[in-house]
Structure 1
Amino acid sequence: MDWKNQFSPLGVTTSDTLPDLMLSYLGSWSAINMIGQDKKSYLQGQVTCNVVTLTNEQSTLGAHCDAKGKVWSVFRLFHHNDGYALFQPASAIEVELAELKKYAIFSKVEITASQDVALGIMGDSAQSWVDSLSDSRADVRPITGGSAVKISDKRWLLLVNQDQAEIITNAFTAAKVTEATWTRFDIEEALPIVTAQAQNEHIPQALNLQAVNGICFTKGCYTGQETVARAKYRGINKREMAIVKGNLISALPEDEPITLERSVGDNWRTAGTLLAHYSFTDKTATGLVVLPNNLEADTELRIASQPETRWTIQPLPYSLEEDE
């Protein structure tokens, strides 16, 4: 049996407790690899995060923008094998790879789409399970076949070669679940997700990147930096990413844009398109969406294709207030 077929949907209601330990094959995620003598300096001039100060034991979120500050990619950056890995939705990689390589001809750097496999370890016992893979206790660890990267207290990413991914999966004795559960964690932790559908739509602050340490405002110039700086110091950003939750009339399609509308008096107006969503078994769902940042917290929302639904904005797990 193909090892990738061992993962089953985990059907839970909003009140169900999750298993203590889960493994997921993250088939819709991948990475871009960067190696070469100039990898650090080249990447530093391209992205919002500070590459120079990133140690081997750390990861950071970051974004790559166009010249107008619109985001091509939101990624998790970490040292991997002999270079860097930029972990992100696989659908974004074709466009992001071309944009990231635009000026690489002038530097000693090689930028390629990774062939590694992404696995997710989740649950209360995720930390102790990952601790069994190596002697390291860092947030980024070399392991057999690749790297282990801490995402949050209950979640680790394993980016490993194909053979090691198969070995890990076949030996794993706890719950093997589809990547929908990983998406649920992303939503609840309000980590920005930019798939191909959302590329070149938003500036980094509209995706809350400043609140999850994905923007360094003191690192100097990079592509799109002027827009990012104006959004901070002149208040030009009028949007923010929100967690939303509500009921369903029918199942949400996986591969189609899902538009939310907001109540305006007796009318409804387009509010935004879900960046990601997760459905529970009790006909409720949750998601991430970029909304105008002047909406009242109790603004009523609905799915445009299911007008009988009602959704609401949920509290974020972090603050959007910025230090001056």
Structure 2
Amino acid sequence: MSNNHASLFAPFLEQVRHASFADRHQPAMSLLTDRGFLSVSGPDSQRFLQGQLSNNLNVLEPGQHHLSTACTPKGRMYSAFRLLHCENAFLLSMHKGLLDLTQTTLGKYAVFFKSEQTIDTSLVALGLSGSSIKNVIETLFGNTPEDGSAIKVEQSAWLLAVPGTCERYELWLPANQLSAWWEKMKQNFLPVSQSHWRLLDIEAVIPELLPEATEQYIPQHLNLPTLNAVSFRKGCYTGQEIVARMQNLGQLKSRCYHLTADSAVELSPNTKLTNAAGKTIGEVLYAVTPTDAKQTELLAVIRVEAAETSDVQLPDNDITFTVSPLPYHIDVKAELQR
């Protein structure tokens, strides 16, 4: 089956709504059309990944997951993903545009390990979200995972609890089961596009690395140490020296923030942002324009001082931006103890 699953997704995409403010915390299911999966298996897979990824796999038990990154020797992320420890393998869920690069780059370091990296085209992902949906989730799946954990569903799928401003879960399931689960869940969840899930990520400031941003940022630029995607006590991994040095110096000048444009505007990844003086102060990660709002919501990596004063504009444009306070506290010293 093709990795993009275009023909499989087509009939479901005809049923979905685009993101809206009114629906954003209502029970909804999002078909995550750009999601892909890399499976890492073999007797040395944990030891191999421990030397490549930014988090500590030695404390990740089967059935647990968290965000993680893979960096170049210069500390720049070429991949970022949610990592699940399955019984006999690790599953990495990421933007499908990162799969080939991630597999190829990890493969360069795998020669001394009994480990295999395989792009798993059999899996697809659904995002389930909404306020007070825990009881519905328990009825549908027989159990409810806690944040950072996952439960096995019918021996071939996984349900993961993920963070957000409302309750959120990801269902990783075989593509041939999508239709059955879709019909079962749409009795309780409104079918919505992936833009809905992305709007929730923007609201919670939980950034996804898109292909347009590969090797552009260190993990701190996307606030990933705060989101438990980086361990500073695990020891060496590729890029660790640069990442740790930046954390120890505490001199990061740019971070990821939630911005709101004062009118609806199309913003592609890497669109440059400036301050009132015309100086470039950052760039867009990605943006969503809700259907019921005359404004655009986005995540952007911008200078901290610009964020603190909401001094953000588009060059040669009268559109201005409001920067929302981060929904979590960043404590650089506390992060060093993880």
TM-score by length of 1: 0.90
**Cα displacement string for residues 22-69 of structure 1 (whole angstroms, at most 9, x for unaligned residues):** 111100112211111111111010011011101123211111100010
Conserved in 2, the CA contact under 8 Å of 1:7 and 1:24?
A: no
Hey, what's the Cα distance between the residues in 2 that align with 1:249 and 1:165?
34
Conserved in 1, the CA contact under 8 Å of 2:79 and 2:209?
A: yes
Q: Does 1:59 align with 2:78?
A: no
Hey, what's the Cα distance between the residues in 2 that align with 1:301 and 1:39?
44
**Cα displacement string for residues 193-239 of structure 1 (whole angstroms, at most 9, x for unaligned residues):** 11110000011111111111111111010000001110111234322
Q: Name which of structure 1's ranges 112-121 and 286-295 shifts more when overlaid on structure 2.
A: 286-295
Conserved in 2, the CA contact under 8 Å of 1:38 and 1:107?
A: yes
Q: Does 1:166 align with 2:179?
A: yes
Q: Does 1:319 align with 2:332?
A: no
- SS of 2:180's equivalent in the other structure is helix
Amino acid at match of 2:162: I
1:5 match: 13
Q: Does 1:202 align with 2:212?
A: no
Post-superposition offset of 1:70 = 0.3
Conserved in 2, the CA contact under 8 Å of 1:49 and 1:214?
A: yes
- Alignment match of 1:279 (pick from 279, 286, 289): 289
Hey, what's the Cα distance between the residues in 1 that align with 2:263 and 2:138?
40
Q: Does 1:191 align with 2:206?
A: yes
> Higher strand proportion, which one?
1
Q: Name which of structure 1's ranges 275-284 and 59-68 shifts more when overlaid on structure 2.
A: 275-284
Give the fraction of aligned pairs with identical amino acids, expressed as a percent. 25
| Moved segments of 4+, more than 6 Å | none
Distance 1:126 1:95, change over 3 A: farther
- SS of 2:309's equivalent in the other structure is coil
Conserved in 1, the CA contact under 8 Å of 2:273 and 2:313?
A: yes
Post-superposition offset of 1:125 = 4.2
2:90 match: 84
- Alignment match of 2:103 (pick from 93, 97, 103): 97
Amino acid at match of 2:150: V
Q: How does 1:36-75 map to 2 (within 5 A)?
A: 36-75=42-81
Distance 1:6 1:62, change over 3 A: same
Conserved in 2, the CA contact under 8 Å of 1:148 and 1:158?
A: yes
**Cα displacement string for residues 64-107 of structure 1 (whole angstroms, at most 9, x for unaligned residues):** 10001000111111123631111111122221221122111221
Structure 1 gaps of 5+ residues are none
Distance 1:148 1:296, change over 3 A: closer
- Alignment match of 1:221 (pick from 217, 220, 236): 236
Amino acid at match of 2:217: H
> Higher helix proportion, which one?
2
Amino acid at match of 1:185: L
Q: Name which of structure 1's ranges 73-82 and 192-201 shifts more when overlaid on structure 2.
A: 73-82
Amino acid at match of 1:117: V
**Cα displacement string for residues 172-205 of structure 1 (whole angstroms, at most 9, x for unaligned residues):** 2231010101001111111121111000001111
Amino acid at match of 1:191: I
Hey, what's the Cα distance between the residues in 1 that align with 2:203 and 2:269?
20
- Alignment match of 1:230 (pick from 245, 253, 258): 245
Hey, what's the Cα distance between the residues in 1 that align with 2:264 and 2:328?
31
TM-score by length of 2: 0.87
Q: How does 1:289-308 map to 2 (within 5 A)?
A: 289-295=300-306, 297-304=308-315, 307-308=317-318
- SS of 1:105's equivalent in the other structure is coil
- SS of 1:188's equivalent in the other structure is helix
- SS of 1:168's equivalent in the other structure is helix
Structure 2 gaps of 5+ residues are 1-7
2:4 match: none
- SS of 1:106's equivalent in the other structure is coil
1:27 match: 33
Q: Does 1:182 align with 2:197?
A: yes
Post-superposition offset of 1:10 = 3.5
